[in-house]
Amino acid sequence: MQEKLHCDFLIIGSGIAGLYTAYHLADLGSVVLITKSSLLESNTSYAQGGIAGVLDEHDSYESHIQDTLKAGAGLCDEEAVKILVYEGPKHIKKLIELGAKFKTTPEGNLDLHREGGHSFNRIVHAGDLTGKEVAEVLINSIKNKNIQVLENTSAVELITQFHLDEPGDPILKEPVCYGAYVYSRKTWEIFKIISKATILATGGAGQVYLHNTNPEVSTGDGVALAYKAGAIITNMEFYQFHPTVLYNPNQSSFLITEALRGYGAKLLDYEGKPFMHKYDQRKELAPRDIVARAIDAEMKKSGSPHVYLDITHKNPEETKEQFPHIYQTCLRMGIDVTKQWIPVVPAAHYMCGGVEVDYWGRTRLKGLFAVGEVAYTGVHGGNRLASNSLLEGLVFGYRIYEYLKNNFIEKASKSIKPWYKEGLNNPEEWILVQHNFQEIKNIMWNYVGIVRSNLRLERALRRINLLYDEVIDFYRRTVIQNKILELRNITLVAKIIILSALNRKESRGLHYSTDYPENRNPSKQYTRVMRTVGKEFYLLKS
């Protein structure tokens, strides 16, 4: 017998965006929050740097706005940026009210860091474990709320008008989301969760790349779910590569926070010489796209596998106190950062495109919202300013709550088809799943990375198209399991990224092509937003 749940609000994902939205929506009705691993396993928990906000009387909203617009390479939605900056500080204060322990100065003021692209110290932090601190505070805050948490549960497909068990042509109906079919990783059961509003808060898709800073759960699930349901997907060619990840072959990537460069760390080439002055007058504090490309260029020129980050000139005790997690982690790997240079390389870090939403988190489908890294609000444009991501999850998560508080959404009264879950269990073919994962990661890293060209992108598309056909055939024939769902999603996201990159005939922000000169001027004719809906791609002026 297939299980069915009803709720007012279904939230898919448990990072800062999902948890903060759930915390507020629980005041309006029943909430079911699903997460495909544990509540703590999200990009939020891995975030080191902090949350940007105008919290110093000498700082200004206009300064934060301009820093964000400049980093976004002419593609930000200015109104969305203003919303982020003006509304952000109250949500940082709300986290403190809920128990977040951000670092303070001896005088009791917030200890504000500066990171690349910022013109002022405005980043609150909990040492180098800010994300973990915030996640734990929010998890604790939702415990006594009207929230049912389902861990180890994945969304298979969003329920739309195509799943209604009634006659009529679903294509002619208004696109609506009624909830989701979900899969229990423990029981293998697929069941329906029917809701008034469904909120995607699934994070990014870092696992599409061979080298990335994301947890294993970051497989682009939300983008794939929304795309299949007919939502608009925007600007997926802009994938941010974090410039400084610890070079440690054959082990999981470890992020070296940008705050270390804000603290004074210098980038050195393989021979120990500074090089950032050759690429940008802001040197180590240039936006991430510029720093990542500079490191990539230096590695290619020298043939070296990494560059270095040097913090040995700073006070050792202060470094240990400011960055205890980085210090201890590097020390376990044989590197004393107070005495030795840190070998670093860029790695895929953050998805700046995503499911297109308005200023209230609404997608093209009635009843479907998106928030956090999975959403495209227009805040990040062609490149994300450091530490604006956690802030975005707070601001627009609360805006979804505000919208739902003031706008009635009718409860789904339609009869919805059960999930047809027949299929073959092919354990001997599981090796193919693993091979496909690895092949996709290699294709994306080699051809759709920091520097691209039309030739590389076309080669990548040919290979991904073949893999996509194989994966979908395998998905349709086989009993659904988590890795098959992830493979289906990551293959689709890879294809969308490549197609989006091929359709941008310029170099801008995080999309850098050797076939086109770099363009950061928003008035140029090629400035545009790349959008996809269903299987059709179209371009609009930004």
Adjacent-strand bridge partners of 191 = 182
pLDDT of residue 432: 76
Q: Tell me the pLDDT of the chain averaged across its residues.
A: 89
Mean per-residue pLDDT for 184-194? 91
Where in the chain do CATH 1.20.58.100 domains reside?
427-510
For 308-351, write each residue's pLDDT tens digit. 999 999 999 999 998 988 999 999 999 999 999 999 999 999 99
pLDDT digit string, tens, across residues 346-381: 999 999 999 999 999 999 999 999 999 999 999 999
Amino acid at 183: Y
**Across residues 226-234, what is the average pLDDT?**
94
CB-CB neighbours of 42 under 10 Å: 31
The strand pair at 342-351 and 307-310 is best described as antiparallel
Q: What percent of the chain has pLDDT over 70?
A: 91
pLDDT tens digits for range 433-458: 788 999 999 999 999 999 999 999 99
The listed CATH number (3.90.700.10, 1.10.390.10, 3.50.50.60, 1.10.357.10) that belongs to domain 245-346: 3.90.700.10
Q: What percent of the chain has pLDDT over 90?
A: 69
Range ranked top by mean pLDDT from 136-150, 161-175, 282-296, 527-541: 136-150
**Can you give the pLDDT at residue 289?**
83
Which one, of 414, 275, 418, 423, lies nearest residue 344 by Cα? 275
- Work out the average pLDDT over 508-530: 72
pLDDT at residue 498 tops 90: yes
Residue 413 confidence class, pLDDT cut points 50, 70, 90:
low
What sign for the dihedral angle of Cα 223, 460, 458, 350? positive
Mean local confidence (pLDDT), 404-415? 81
Residues of the chain with CATH 3.50.50.60: 4-238+352-406
Q: State yes or no: pLDDT of 251 exceeds 90.
A: no
Which residues, including other chains, have CB under 8 Å from residue 435's CB and lie 6 or more apart? none
What's the CATH fold of domain 427-510? Methane Monooxygenase Hydroxylase; Chain G, domain 1 (1.20.58)
User: What are 122-161's pLDDT values in tens digits?
Assistant: 999 987 778 889 999 999 999 989 999 999 999 999 999 8
* Mean pLDDT across 191-220: 94
Least confident of 33-37, 287-291, 296-300, 502-506: 287-291
pLDDT at 31: 97
Q: 0.85 exceeded by the pTM?
A: yes
pLDDT beyond 80 at 171: no
Task: Check if CATH label 3.30.200.20 holds for domain 4-238+352-406.
Answer: no
At residue 105, the 3 state secondary structure works out as coil
DSSP string of 359-416, one letter each residue? TTSB-SSBTEEE-GGGEE-SSSTTSPPTT-HHHHHHHHHHHHHHHHHHS--PPP-S-B
pLDDT at 242 over 80: yes
Task: Please give the pLDDT value at position 508.
Answer: 92
- Residue 46: is its pLDDT beyond 70? no
Q: Which of 151-160, 410-419, 426-435, 512-521 has the lowest mean pLDDT?
A: 426-435
Would you please indicate which residues are annotated as catalytic (active-site) residues?
Answer: 288
Question: Distance between CA atoms of 123 and 92, rounded to whole angstroms?
Answer: 10
CATH 3.90.700.10 location in the chain: 245-346
The pLDDT assigned to 542 comes to 34
pLDDT of 541 reads: 40
Res. 525: pLDDT tops 60? no
Higher pLDDT, 518 or 176: 176
Question: Packing angle between helix 61-71 and helix 78-98, nearest 10 degrees?
Answer: 120
Distance of CA 316 to the CA centre of its chain: 33
DSSP secondary structure letters along 495-513 = HHHHHHHHT--SBBTTB-B
